[in-house]
Amino acid sequence: MIEIQERKNGVSFSVQVLPRSSKCALAGISEGIVRLKLTAPPVEGRANEECLDFFSELLGVKKGLMSILHGHKSRKKVIQIDGLTREQLESRLSLHLQAELQKDDPVPKEPRDRKHR
């Protein structure tokens, strides 16, 4: 379960970023913190920018309504989103987390019958 704090204008949640990953994708939840793989390095704010871009697109929220409250120079960040309720954030994140985890855990293939020659 994601730990979500309700704020005056919206909600906030914790994120642990994994910079310099092979792809930009959700990596699950650990102790209430959303784990996020980023391709950008943690240099000159590029990982922060990619983090906000990712959540903006994923959640369908304008980037101008999002900000990093804490953790500008850390892998652990607190993201605030204005204009979103706890329920909206929970449903949107859980939907995408389930889809992402299913991609990483494919259904095992049936063994093929091989004819002996």
pLDDT of res. 99:
74
- Find out whether 68 and 48 touch, Cβ atoms under 8 Å: yes
Instruction: Please give the pLDDT value at position 109.
Output: 52
- Residue 57 pLDDT: 96
pLDDT of residue 10: 96
CA diameter of the chain: 73
CB 17 within 8 A of CB 77: yes
What pLDDT score does 110 carry?
57
Q: Is 76 helix (H, G, I), strand (E, B) or coil?
A: strand
Residue 55, φ and ψ in degrees, nearest 5: -70, -30
How far from the centroid of its chain's Cα atoms is residue 71's Cα?
Answer: 16
Q: Which domains does the chain have, with CATH numbers?
A: 4-101 (3.30.1200.10)
Task: Look at residue 71 in the predicted model and tell me its pLDDT.
Answer: 97
Say how far apart CA 106 and CA 78 lie, in whole Å.
Answer: 31
What pLDDT score does 108 carry?
A: 53
Residues facing residue 25 across a β-bridge = 37
pTM for the model stands at 0.82
Q: Which residues share a beta bridge with 78?
A: 14, 70
Which pair of tokens denotes residue 81? 């989103």
pLDDT in tens, the chain (117 residues): 789 999 999 999 999 999 999 999 999 899 999 999 999 999 999 999 999 999 999 999 999 999 999 999 999 999 999 999 999 999 998 887 777 767 665 555 555 555 655
Q: How many CA atoms lie within 13 A of 25 on its CB side?
A: 13
